[in-house]
């Protein structure tokens, strides 16, 4: 299991966002691929390159992406005598967009990903010999959107669902998603299961042991939702584990700051214990002018396990660079303070400077990595865990080609260092070309 500071601003190459030709209200789902409105191109008679539209009389477009990634990671604790991981990864995708009508579309995407060189054994999240990464049917009007099939899911600021940023093979789900707009109110419905990635060709499969359902509502700056999650094969105990969750989000302007607030309440049962957990996530955002932004973020996720109760918040499919480009831990039994500055320096260059301070919420519980397992074997004594610093840069050289350079360093508290937990860090270089 990788125990590292994982920092990566990943160029997303999934499902492209379809914008209606006529003006319409914005929909809830975030873009999952570079935004190219090919349907509008067809209607306006814009000519695409022959290779991109192989059948000139059919509204069908092909494209893809190539990515090369170098990653050097110092580990918290040695694994089989190895104190660092060094990887050179490659990933290629090819997609097909077929617009069956003005409102409906089929999106297919293949993926091939592997390690060119590494000093450790390949990970399932780094290799996928050849798979259907996404296969989605989408129906879209000014007020209704439906997506059905194998797909990446990102929404809610990655607080519960992300595409597993920082890995070579992104997370997908077999899911149904729908959203409807009426009189300024937005309603959404979702049901699905995650996909378990396998290294072999065409071997990935739906994990039917895990299932989730979601109902959501949004009006202006207020948003609420209900989730139900169940797992027939939980990490601990026997039988089916299940969790209910209520969420509430609000945005408001406070003089020169914007405050974004998210509250989560969880309850259910797991390992013959009742679950009572919660989480608060807040951001204060200020525009500094000159394309610079200051963000003060605080995330508090409850923790603690007693004889009869579990108070550890389950972050579901958050996995990724939420709050920080350092994704060493996940939002379970964790207090994270994350101030950061973002700059747009012009010429396609963006830079993010950040720091993160970590505390345990409960000293009766451990820390968890993005895979929802114990982050390291050391016995934690104090609440304070450590502090991290990172620099993340993204340089868009053209509409298709980007370079990313990320550096992070995590310094642990003295009691952890005395037990053999090392200060750790990561350097990552990523080249991404979309065609």
Query: Is there a domain that residue 77 lies in?
Result: yes
Which two structure tokens, joined as six digits, stand for 434?
A: 């979309």
Query: Is there a domain that residue 45 lies in?
Result: yes
Query: Which of 220-253 are b and which e, b meaning 16 or more Cβ less than 10 Å from the residue's Cβ?
Result: eeebebebebbbeebeeeeeebbbebebebeeee
State residue 122's pLDDT score. Answer: 79
Q: Write out 271-327 in H/E/C secondary structure.
A: CCEEEEEEEEEEEEEEEEECCEEEEEEEEEECCCECCCEECCCCCCECCCCCCCCCC
Query: Is there a domain that residue 220 lies in?
Result: yes
**Three-class SS of residue 224?**
strand
Please state, in angstroms and rounded to a whole number, the distance separating the CA atoms of residues 181 and 367: 40
Closest to 303 in 3D by CA, of 384, 373, 361: 361
Query: Is there a domain that residue 369 lies in?
Result: yes
Contact 64, 95 (CB under 8 A): yes
Q: What is the CATH number of the domain that holds 426?
A: 2.40.160.100
Query: Is there a domain that residue 32 lies in?
Result: no
DSSP string, 333-381: SEEEEEEEEEEEEETTEEEEEEEEEEEES-TTS--B-TTSSBS-SSPP-
> Where does 24-181 have alpha helices with state H?
38-44
Q: Which domain covers residue 222, as residue numbers?
A: 38-434
What does R_g of the chain's alpha carbons equal in angstroms?
A: 22
Question: What are the pLDDT tens digits along the chain (435 aa)?
Answer: 334 333 332 222 232 333 333 333 344 444 444 334 556 556 665 666 677 777 777 788 888 889 999 999 888 887 777 788 899 999 999 988 888 887 888 889 999 999 999 988 878 888 888 999 999 998 888 899 999 999 988 877 788 888 876 788 888 999 999 999 999 999 999 999 999 988 777 888 999 999 999 999 999 999 999 999 999 987 666 678 999 999 999 999 998 999 999 999 999 998 889 999 999 999 999 999 989 999 999 999 999 988 889 999 998 888 766 777 667 788 999 999 999 999 999 999 999 999 999 999 998 898 888 777 888 888 888 899 999 999 999 999 988 899 999 999 999 999 888 888 888 899 999 999 988
DSSP state of 48: P
Contact 88, 32 (CB under 8 A): no
Q: Name the helix (H) or strand (E) containing 33.
A: none
State residue 19's pLDDT score. Answer: 31
Query: Is there a domain that residue 10 lies in?
Result: no
Which two structure tokens, joined as six digits, stand for 115?
A: 């390690």
Query: Is there a domain that residue 15 lies in?
Result: no
Contact 228, 193 (CB under 8 A): no
What is the pTM assigned to this prediction? Answer: 0.85
Please state, in angstroms and rounded to a whole number, the distance separating the CA atoms of residues 124 and 8: 18
- Cα dist from 381 to 3, 411, 414, 419, whole Å: 20, 16, 10, 11
Count: domains in the chain = 1
Contact 258, 243 (CB under 8 A): no
Please state, in angstroms and rounded to a whole number, the distance separating the CA atoms of residues 190 and 47: 37
Please state, in angstroms and rounded to a whole number, the distance separating the CA atoms of residues 1 and 292: 37
Please state, in angstroms and rounded to a whole number, the distance separating the CA atoms of residues 358 and 241: 28
Query: Is there a domain that residue 29 lies in?
Result: no
**Three-class SS of residue 157?**
helix
């Amino acid at each position: 299991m990788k125990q590292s500071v994982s920092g990566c601003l990943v160029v997303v190459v999934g499902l492209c966002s379809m914008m209606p030709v006529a003006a319409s209200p914005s929909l809830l789902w975030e873009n999952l691929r570079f935004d190219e409105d090919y349907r509008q191109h067809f209607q306006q008679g814009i000519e695409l390159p022959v290779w991109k539209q192989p059948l000139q009389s059919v509204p069908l477009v092909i494209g893809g992406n190539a990515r090369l990634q170098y990653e050097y990671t110092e580990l918290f604790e040695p694994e089989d005598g190895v104190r660092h991981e060094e990887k050179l990864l490659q990933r290629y995708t090819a997609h097909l967009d077929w617009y069956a009508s003005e409102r409906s579309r089929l999106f297919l995407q293949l993926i091939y990903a592997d390690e060119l060189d590494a000093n450790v054994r390949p990970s399932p999240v780094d290799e996928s010999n050849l798979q259907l990464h996404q296969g989605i049917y989408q129906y879209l009007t000014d007020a209704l959107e439906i997506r059905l099939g194998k797909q990446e899911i990102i929404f809610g600021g990655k607080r519960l669902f992300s595409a597993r940023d920082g890995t070579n093979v992104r997370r997908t789900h077999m899911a149904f998603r729908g959203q409807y707009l009426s009189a300024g109110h937005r309603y959404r419905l979702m049901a699905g299961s995650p996909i378990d990635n396998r290294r072999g060709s065409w071997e990935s499969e739906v994990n039917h042991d895990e299932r989730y359902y979601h109902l959501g509502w949004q009006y202006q700056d207020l948003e609420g939702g209900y989730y139900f999650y169940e797992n027939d094969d939980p990490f601990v105990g026997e039988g089916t584990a299940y969790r209910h969750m209520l969420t509430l989000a609000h945005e408001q302007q406070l003089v020169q700051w914007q405050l974004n607030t998210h509250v989560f309440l969880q309850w259910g049962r797991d390992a013959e214990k009742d679950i009572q957990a919660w989480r608060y996530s807040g951001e204060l955002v200020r525009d500094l002018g000159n394309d610079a932004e200051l963000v003060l973020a605080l995330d508090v996720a409850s923790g603690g396990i007693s004889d009869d109760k579990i108070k550890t918040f389950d972050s579901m499919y958050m996995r990724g660079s939420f709050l920080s480009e350092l994704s060493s831990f996940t939002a379970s039994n964790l207090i994270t303070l994350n101030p950061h500055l973002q700059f747009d320096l012009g010429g396609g260059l963006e830079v993010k400077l950040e720091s993160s301070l970590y505390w345990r919420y409960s000293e009766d519980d451990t820390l968890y990595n993005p895979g929802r397992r114990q982050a390291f074997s050391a016995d934690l004594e104090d609440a304070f865990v450590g502090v991290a610093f990172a620099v993340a840069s993204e340089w868009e050289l053209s509409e298709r080609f980007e370079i990313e350079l990320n550096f992070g360093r995590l310094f642990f508290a003295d009691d952890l260092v005395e037990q053999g937990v090392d200060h750790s860090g990561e350097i990552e270089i990523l080249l991404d070309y979309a065609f």
